[in-house]
Chain A
Amino acid sequence: MQNNHHKEHLYKILVIGDLGVGKTSIIKRYVHHNFSPNYRATIGVDFALKVLNWDQETVRLQLWDIAGQERFGNMTRVYYREAMGAFIVFDVTRPASFEAVTKWKEDLDSKLTLANGKHVATVLLANKCDQGRDVLTNNGIKMEQFCQENGFVGWYETSAKENINIDEAANCLVKHIMASENDMLQSEVPDTVTPQLEKDKGGTCSSCFRSQ
């Protein structure tokens, strides 16, 4: 009856990080509200959709759960495109998975930039925090500083098992995506092209057509 100005946002979000850090578990917890210690290893890529109500607007998060084995890094290029945000996950009980964080961030930034040339909003997740926080405390890592230096918009200690901080982390990411979206809309000059925000136009990137 009433003219529906209800706005809908569709954001593609990547969930990346070393294998076994709990990417799938985090998504399951966030989307399906459950946890099982027995997930299958992700091969290639998996998907999940989370719908949020955000200030009377609808936000649809398309979560791309990407296989963690280094070898699949070669395929990430296909997965990354048109993403608007990312979670990089590490396992607080495994220092090596934290060391890989910078590698994942570099990979992401080298393969993906927004229309305004900026990197996509990325939140760092220190997962499995129910199992101790050795990595965080022992090495004297200043997480705030680490995030600043490496261009993360925030970080959270999470536990998919105990459902700690996952909603918070997602909200933080959405907030930043929306901010950068507004930023791009405002700074738009006629000749540049904004990434697709409306769903009905599909995900094709219009700049690709222009460049031909």
Chain B
Amino acid sequence: DRLVKAAQQTCRNSTILVVDIMYRKALANISKIKVTHFFSTFCLFTEACQAPSSPIVLEEDSVQFNKLSYLGCTWVKAPRSEAEAQRAMATLRAESAIPIPITLHVPCGPDGSVRIVDQATGTEIASFPIYKVLFCARGREGSVESDCFSFTESYRSSEDFQIHVFSCHIKEAVSRILYSFSTAFRRSSRPSDIRDTALSSPPDSDLYTFTVSLEIKEDDGKGNYSPVPKDRDKFYFKLRQSVQKKVVVSVQQMCNKELGIERCFGMLLSPGQKVCNSDMHLLDMESMGKSSDGKAYVITGTWNPNMAAFQLLNEETPKDKQVYMTVAVDLVVTEVVEPVRFLLETLVRVLQPLHHYHTTYNVPIFLCLNVCLNHSWTDNSDSEISSGTGDVSKDCPEKILESWGGILTRWHGNLSTRPKGLSSLVHSGIPEALRAEVWQLLAGCHDNRDLLEHYRILITKDSAQESVITRDIHRTFPAHDYFKDSDGDGQDSLYKICKAYSVYDEEIGYCQGQSFLAAVLLLHMPEEQAFCVLVKIMYEYGLRALYKNNFEDLHCKFYQLERLMQEQLPDLWSHFQELNLEAHMYASQWFLTLFTAKFPLCMVFHITDLLLCEGLNIIFNVALALLKTSKEDLLQADFEGALKFFRVQLPKRYRAAENARRLMEQACNIKVPTKKLKKFEKEYQTLRESQLQQEDPIDRYQVGQPHTHSHTHTHFFRFYLKSLSDSVQC
């Protein structure tokens, strides 16, 4: 996390540098971020092992274990640390003066509680709902603590973790108890092969079980890949040195409401177990998608064993030894806000390249994983996504970076004209690492020393709108780390930039909505530079005009949008007419904030790319693309349904970066001819003029005739549309 922050810092502090330095820096950033960028990992350390035989006493809803002693509990800092658990067990095993003989009840399902009952009196000492149990561990084999087991829980709050330690009079009970815990974590009765399961952040919610199988395939020398054999008893893979390999992971959901796996955006590999993120290396993805029967999601990656990072898995393993390796896949699941990582640890043995496999034990290794989804991760269909959400991948294919390198070199050679081929590159999105530089170049901020200087003076001046700005600062991108602390750098810079603008532009001043745009810029560059780009967008790109004269231009834009809709989406247009759903109801926010307030950041940044490259009219392309892609949903909806759709479902759809990318592609393909816009603008002006001429008499009429609705003359939107449309009677 700190690395990400540091990387963001470098990103924000980057000024316009000589191209190739920037380019290399971008690459450096990417390699660093590629692996540190990750989210809340579902830690699911699993390993294939034999399921133990049936437990001791089976009650109706729980399994009861006798002949146990409760050794006590202690606090731990890291609830899921195996090392801490081992330490706690060693300490309590050695120090526990009066072990209490107890009976332990482990529930059969995720709804129950673990209960500790005093054996002598039958009274309950403590009980913990199973979802509060975070981690179970057993004492290390061969140590004094091998008869111990422990579980960690967060009973009182999410920050305090207590570990409870027990010893078993019958040592074999340890594995049975752990098995019971693992079954308690899952709903399906399907037996599986879990040794210990750690649930990250257990909530009061649903459990989803996945079966994940891992298969490794090797090139047979003729370009055909066939699965490598596995050891029959110890379940390890047998690999050959220096032979090209493929890793196949298939994920199948076993229970609960079906979650949609949208895509895999990374398969990673590393030697060893419990490896840290930065040691995992991305494999080239060969394919991903549903299996032929549609039940599982299959990801295939290619593994070049000769790469230095995988060296340890390419050295012959000594006889009778195995080495660990870890495979991870990062999946985008529709109903889960954050990407989900499935982490698999397995044993392998590396053999000589020419080794001939004797056995052909080829059953894939199955692992059964339980994923406990927190409510905040799953899609609660009524809640909006927070403003400023979404990770933005800093990953970018090398080829694209190379094209950008070329373009930037030419650009810096001649700053007065945009290089050829620029706009098509921008259309597919500027690489995150280059945005700071490209945005400034696009906006024409390369020689803005005066404005930069001016900014330093502006921030020292008082603004009449300070209190308004203060109220908005903590309401801008509250979901983003950089802006979430009320005394953090983010809010401080945001305040300064908004205040400076309100002083700089006396006529407009601060207007609600600006802070979102300023925040987008601040996420990429230092304050002064962000201010320059903001000024350019307001003045030269014309955003400023929308705020002027009682939003007159904004209303013109709404009119233009509705006319474009009428031509390009006639069915949706008539539907909206029937519902009396007008553009200002959904598009005010879109246009005034340039789509920055509600959509996930990956999309927000991409829209900013397009805006800076193509100008303000791009808002029509984006709006039309949004309407086009949601047409089917919107045609089904009534007034409230449609507005709710705009508020809730629509932004959610673009949390998946792929969807956002496609939308942008569509936006770029939509034709919004300037001629048409001009024509519509004239229409609007004509209407508006006749409207204004009528306004006075109506007002007078209104005073004298209280029966008339005062909104009559505010109906001009409806009037102008009706008067223009032959299909609507008026």
Contacts and interface: CB of A to CB of B under 8 A. Distances in A.
A39 B640 CA distance: 21
A111 B589 contact: no
A82 B468 contact: no
A112 interface: yes
A143 interface: no
B511 interface: yes
A41 B513 CA distance: 8
Nearest to B472: A41
B512 A69 contact: yes
Scoring B513, B592, B593 by chain A CB atoms within 10 A of each residue's CB, the highest score goes to B513
Contact of B580 (A46, A68, A202): A202
A78 interface: yes
B715 interface: yes
Contacts of B707: 115-117, 192
A71 B712 contact: no
B41 interface: no
A114 B585 CA distance: 22
A207 B706 CA distance: 13
A161 interface: no
A197 interface: no
Nearest to A67: B512
Given A41-B512, A45-B588, A69-B511, A115 B709 contact: yes
B551 A204 contact: no
B719 to A, nearest CB: 8
Nearest to A117: B706
B597 interface: yes
Interface residues of B, number: 51
Nearest to B643: A47
Nearest to A196: B580
Nearest to A60: B640
A47 B513 CA distance: 17
B536 interface: no
A77 interface: yes
B691 to A, nearest CB: 13
Given A113-B710, A203-B639, A207-B712, A43 B475 contact: no
Contacts of B38: none
B484 interface: yes
Given A44-B584, A74-B550, A203-B580, A81 B478 contact: no
B711 A81 contact: yes
A160 B718 CA distance: 36
Interface in A155-212: 192, 195, 202-205, 207-209, 211-212
A38 B386 CA distance: 9
Interface string A110-136: 111101110000000000000000000
A80 B592 CA distance: 20
Contacts of B718: 204, 208
Query: What class of interface size applies to chain A in its complex with B?
Result: 35 or more
B578 interface: yes
B471 A19 contact: yes
A43 B712 contact: no
B715 A40 contact: no
Scoring B477, B478, B515 by chain A CB atoms within 10 A of each residue's CB, the highest score goes to B478
B711 A40 contact: no
Interface string B550-589: 1100000000000000000000000000111010110011
A204 B578 CA distance: 9
Contact of B584 (A60, A75, A110, A203): A75
Contacts of B712: 205, 207-208, 211
Interface in A32-71: 32, 38-47, 49, 60, 62, 67-69, 71
Nearest to A206: B709
Interface string B195-223: 00000000000000000000000000000
Contacts of B359: none
B644 interface: yes
Contacts of A67: 512
A212 B694 CA distance: 13
Contact of B589 (A43, A78, A195, A208): A43
22 contacts: A19-B512, A38-B484, A39-B478, A40-B477, A40-B598, A41-B512, A41-B515, A43-B516, A43-B589, A45-B584, A46-B647, A47-B643, A67-B512, A69-B512, A71-B511, A75-B588, A77-B711, A80-B711, A82-B711, A111-B711, A115-B709, A117-B707
Closest 4 CB pairs of A and B: A44-B588, A81-B711, A38-B478, A117-B706
Given A19-B512, A40-B387, A75-B584, 6 more contacts: A20-B471, A38-B484, A43-B593, A47-B647, A113-B706, A202-B579
